Amino acid sequence: MSVIYMLLAISISVALIFFVAFVISVRKGQYDDSYTPSVRILFEDELREELPKKEPETKEYNQLDKPF
Protein backbone atom coordinates (compact mmCIF):
# COMPACT_ATOMS: atom_id res chain seq x y z
CA MET A 1 0.00 0.00 0.00
CA SER A 2 2.90 2.35 0.64
CA VAL A 3 4.00 1.96 -3.00
CA ILE A 4 0.70 3.45 -4.15
CA TYR A 5 1.25 6.52 -1.97
CA MET A 6 4.80 6.89 -3.27
CA LEU A 7 3.67 6.60 -6.92
CA LEU A 8 0.86 9.05 -6.30
CA ALA A 9 3.28 11.59 -4.80
CA ILE A 10 5.73 11.15 -7.67
CA SER A 11 3.02 11.51 -10.33
CA ILE A 12 1.60 14.65 -8.71
CA SER A 13 5.06 16.21 -8.46
CA VAL A 14 5.82 15.42 -12.13
CA ALA A 15 2.46 16.88 -13.16
CA LEU A 16 3.18 20.04 -11.17
CA ILE A 17 6.61 20.37 -12.79
CA PHE A 18 5.07 20.12 -16.27
CA PHE A 19 2.33 22.61 -15.34
CA VAL A 20 4.88 25.14 -14.03
CA ALA A 21 6.97 24.71 -17.19
CA PHE A 22 3.86 25.30 -19.31
CA VAL A 23 2.89 28.44 -17.40
CA ILE A 24 6.42 29.83 -17.67
CA SER A 25 6.52 29.19 -21.43
CA VAL A 26 3.14 30.89 -21.92
CA ARG A 27 4.26 33.93 -19.93
CA LYS A 28 7.45 34.22 -21.99
CA GLY A 29 5.36 34.25 -25.19
CA GLN A 30 6.49 30.99 -26.68
CA TYR A 31 3.02 30.26 -28.05
CA ASP A 32 2.34 33.76 -29.40
CA ASP A 33 2.33 33.62 -33.17
CA SER A 34 0.11 36.19 -34.78
CA TYR A 35 1.84 36.27 -38.18
CA THR A 36 1.81 32.67 -39.40
CA PRO A 37 -1.95 31.97 -39.28
CA SER A 38 -2.70 35.04 -41.38
CA VAL A 39 -0.34 34.05 -44.21
CA ARG A 40 -0.54 30.27 -44.04
CA ILE A 41 -3.33 30.14 -46.60
CA LEU A 42 -1.23 32.16 -49.07
CA PHE A 43 1.70 29.74 -49.10
CA GLU A 44 -0.10 26.43 -48.81
CA ASP A 45 0.03 25.66 -52.53
CA GLU A 46 3.75 26.36 -52.81
CA LEU A 47 4.65 23.61 -50.36
CA ARG A 48 3.22 20.87 -52.55
CA GLU A 49 5.07 19.56 -55.54
CA GLU A 50 2.95 19.50 -58.63
CA LEU A 51 3.02 16.33 -60.65
CA PRO A 52 3.41 16.63 -64.41
CA LYS A 53 0.06 16.47 -66.11
CA LYS A 54 -0.53 13.38 -68.17
CA GLU A 55 -2.24 13.92 -71.49
CA PRO A 56 -5.36 11.83 -71.90
CA GLU A 57 -5.38 9.30 -74.66
CA THR A 58 -7.49 10.45 -77.57
CA LYS A 59 -8.00 7.06 -79.15
CA GLU A 60 -11.57 6.61 -80.20
CA TYR A 61 -13.25 3.26 -80.05
CA ASN A 62 -16.15 2.01 -82.02
CA GLN A 63 -18.37 -0.91 -81.14
CA LEU A 64 -16.07 -3.52 -82.74
CA ASP A 65 -12.89 -2.29 -81.00
CA LYS A 66 -14.22 -2.58 -77.44
CA PRO A 67 -12.93 -5.56 -75.50
CA PHE A 68 -15.47 -7.99 -74.08
- Structural domain boundaries, residue 17: 2-44
pLDDT digits (tens, 9 = 90+) for 29-54: 888 877 777 777 777 565 555 566 66
Give domain status of residue 54, yes or no.
Answer: no
| Residue 15 to residue 58: CA distance in whole angstroms | 65
Give domain status of residue 50, yes or no.
Answer: no
Number of independent structural domains in the chain: 1
CB burial string 19-56: b at 16+ within 10 A, e below: eeeeeeeeeeeeeeeeeeeeeeeeeeeeeeeeeeeeee
The 3-state DSSP class for residue 66 equals coil
Cβ-based neighbours of 25, under 8 Å, separated by 6 or more: 31
Give domain status of residue 10, yes or no.
Answer: yes
- pLDDT value of residue 26: 94
Give domain status of residue 49, yes or no.
Answer: no
Instruction: Please report, rounded to a whole number, the percentage of residues in the chain having pLDDT higher than 90.
Output: 40
Give domain status of residue 27, yes or no.
Answer: yes
Give domain status of residue 33, yes or no.
Answer: yes
Give domain status of residue 12, yes or no.
Answer: yes
Give domain status of residue 32, yes or no.
Answer: yes
